[in-house]
Amino acid sequence: MLRILILCHGNICRSPLAEVLVEAAVSNDPQLAGKVTIVSAGTSDEHLGEAMHANSARILQARGLRTTHCAQVFTPALAATVDLVLAADRANLRNGRAIIRSSDRQPEIRLLRDFDQNARGRDLDDPWGSPMSAYERTAAEISDAIPGLLAELRDRL
């Protein structure tokens, strides 16, 4: 079983949106279904225990996907349970690396958008505090990275 964690700051907008979109894509891929698990977390505890942002939930609900979520913090103990961490942006990449260094296990960490050939090294837009159109743009950026991510996951299994 390959375990992936998607990481952003508060774990209410980008990472739960990406978690569910990637989860849906994995479950629809015959080579990956049942072999990959996806979770998400944040580098901050300011939204600990909260549901995903309403706009992220609206996007998922419109696609018939789950909207249940409870924000959690990325800790060294959580890092020890995953194989690959996908950070939403460079700030969370740095913070994630610091957390991983304190872990008993050292999962690989990369930017989520590195799986989109046209967006390598670029941050996933943070829609927090922005209108619905920003959440839709973020969902599109996540969706653009999914084919490359799935190809990599197939190669790993």
Do residues 150 and 32 lie in contact, with contact meaning Cβ atoms separated by under 8 Å?
A: yes
Compute the distance between CA of residue 90 and CA of residue 122 in angstroms, rounded to an integer: 8
Residue 72 C-beta-side C-alpha neighbours within 13 Å:
14
Helix, strand or coil for residue 37?
Answer: strand
The one catalytic residue in 14, 89, 113, 114 is 14
**Structure-token pair, residue 114:** 């590195």
14 flagged as catalytic:
yes
70 flagged as catalytic:
no
| DSSP for 30-47, written as a single string | TTTTTTEEEEEEES--TT
13 flagged as catalytic:
no
The one catalytic residue in 89, 114, 116, 126 is 126
The one catalytic residue in 8, 113, 114, 116 is 8
**Structure-token pair, residue 11:** 């774990």
| DSSP for 55-99, written as a single string | HHHHHHHHTT--------B--HHHHTT-SEEEESSHHHHHHHHHH
Would you name the residues annotated as active-site residues? Answer: 8, 14, 126
